[in-house]
Structure 1
Amino acid sequence: MQIRNTTHAYGWVSITLHWVMALLLIGMYFVGDYMVELTYYDPLYHTLPFWHKSIGIALGFALLFRLVWNFSNPKPATIQGAPEFTHRLAKLGHLALYGLLVVLLISGYLISTAKGKGIEVFGLFELPALLASNEQRGEIAGEVHEIAATLFMLLVAVHALAAIFHHVYWKDNTLTRMLGRSSQA
């Protein structure tokens, strides 16, 4: 398998970014959902938010790299067999996924820095708080973050179901080429 994308197939960098980010983002959703219910005396009260924030920042850098990678590589040709409207829906779905990721990253940053403190990232460096302390901003950002995360997960489910539908119904290689196999299914 090649490193870079071609007009026929995704390269291993694109495939790896897709699956690693997908797994981490799904995990982040469930960890985030769990950790908001923790009480101060729970042993995971400080641990889970530290990892959630650190992984969130790492995902932000991965997203930037992925966008640069996507724009600097050819996009594999549109798969024939499915109706044209599905290609337009796929483009809109991908834009919505990326848009929601940006909203999640910004709102997560605003939640984490609402008390005027930076975000410690894996104990390696601190991402500074660029805005003054503001508890109300943190509350609003928290609501936005929760809504965006839920919408993101719903869209991920639609995305996965669409890939499976392509594979089973139209018998094209939409799914298999993101698994590293570019031949027709």
Structure 2
Amino acid sequence: MPKTSPRSDWHALSRALHWLIAALILAMAWLGLTMGDLPNGPDKIATYALHKSIGLSVLALAALRLLWRLYAGAPGAVAGTPRWQARIAGVTHVALYALLLALPLSGWLLNSAAGFPLQWFGLFNLPALAGRDEALHALAVQAHELLFWTLAGLVVLHAAAALYHHLFLGDATLARMLPRGWLRAGGNPTPENHDA
């Protein structure tokens, strides 16, 4: 059952998942943008396999984060935030969650339509989402690329908004997503306190 008491910041698990997913997305982006240029061979196969395994990890972690958010809730907008900014932030969060789920699913689909097996770090196989189908594969490739660039653009805007709030508005929007004690609005260390 969701918590009803409002939080002033993000729960420690939400913060940990946020930064872990961000790091994995950066790793996947770098792999995805460079692996196509690798010469054919074992290294290229291993790089593709790593990209797929990280993608599956992002899918699982994004689902976990969404479920946790539904259970634990999220802090309201920082005091003084205009209603239109709070609404844009809400829409952005929904879009980010949707993309974090859709992007790896599109990769899973394109892998299935190509007829390749899918493993998670070589530990176990995952079922195909579709049979081998060249037309579906081509469509899934286009969707995967479109979703990636949409996510990249939204992440840049998300990060820019957080930095704007911190550097120019001096509020706690960024600080409450960082580990405890890192920043206070204005860049000063925050006092330590416990998670609810």
Same fold (TM over 0.5): yes
Q: Are 1:97 and 2:96 an aligned pair?
A: yes
Farther-moved stretch of structure 1 (112-121 vs 47-56):
112-121
**Amino acid paired to 1:18:** H
Q: Which residue of 2 aligns with 1:141?
A: 140
Q: Which residue of 1 aligns with 2:188?
A: none
**Amino acid paired to 1:37:** D
Q: Are 1:121 and 2:120 an aligned pair?
A: yes
In 2, the alpha carbon distance for the partners of 1:79 and 1:178 equals 12
In 2, the alpha carbon distance for the partners of 1:21 and 1:101 equals 9
Q: Which residue of 1 aligns with 2:24?
A: 24
Quote the offset at 1:6 in angstroms: 5.9
In 1, the alpha carbon distance for the partners of 2:76 and 2:63 equals 23
1:6, 1:73 within 8 Å by CA — same for their partners in 2? no
Structure 1 residue runs of 5 or longer lacking an equivalent are: none
Structure 1 residues 19-63: Cα deviation after superposition (integer angstroms, max 9, x where no partner): 01011112211210111223324x531011100111111111111
Quote the offset at 1:184 in angstroms: 5.1
Quote the offset at 1:181 in angstroms: 3.8
- TM-score normalized by the length of structure 2: 0.85
**Amino acid paired to 1:50:** A
In 2, the alpha carbon distance for the partners of 1:77 and 1:20 equals 23
In 1, the alpha carbon distance for the partners of 2:136 and 2:36 equals 17
In 2, the alpha carbon distance for the partners of 1:174 and 1:136 equals 45
Higher relative contact order (CA 8 A, sep 6+): 1
- TM-score normalized by the length of structure 1: 0.90
In 1, the alpha carbon distance for the partners of 2:116 and 2:140 equals 15
- Provide the aligned length of Structure 1 versus Structure 2: 180
2:108, 2:129 within 8 Å by CA — same for their partners in 1? no
Identity %: 36
Q: What is the aligned-residue RMSD (CA, Å)?
A: 1.9
In 2, the alpha carbon distance for the partners of 1:74 and 1:164 equals 23
Q: Which residue of 2 aligns with 1:13?
A: 13
Secondary structure at the counterpart of residue 40 of structure 2: coil
**Amino acid paired to 1:113:** S
**Amino acid paired to 1:7:** R
In 2, the alpha carbon distance for the partners of 1:36 and 1:111 equals 15
Secondary structure at the counterpart of residue 27 of structure 1: helix
In 2, the alpha carbon distance for the partners of 1:144 and 1:169 equals 36
In 2, the alpha carbon distance for the partners of 1:157 and 1:130 equals 31
**Amino acid paired to 1:102:** L
Structure 2 residue runs of 5 or longer lacking an equivalent are: 186-196
- Map 1:170-185 to 2 at 5 A: 170-181=169-180, 185=185
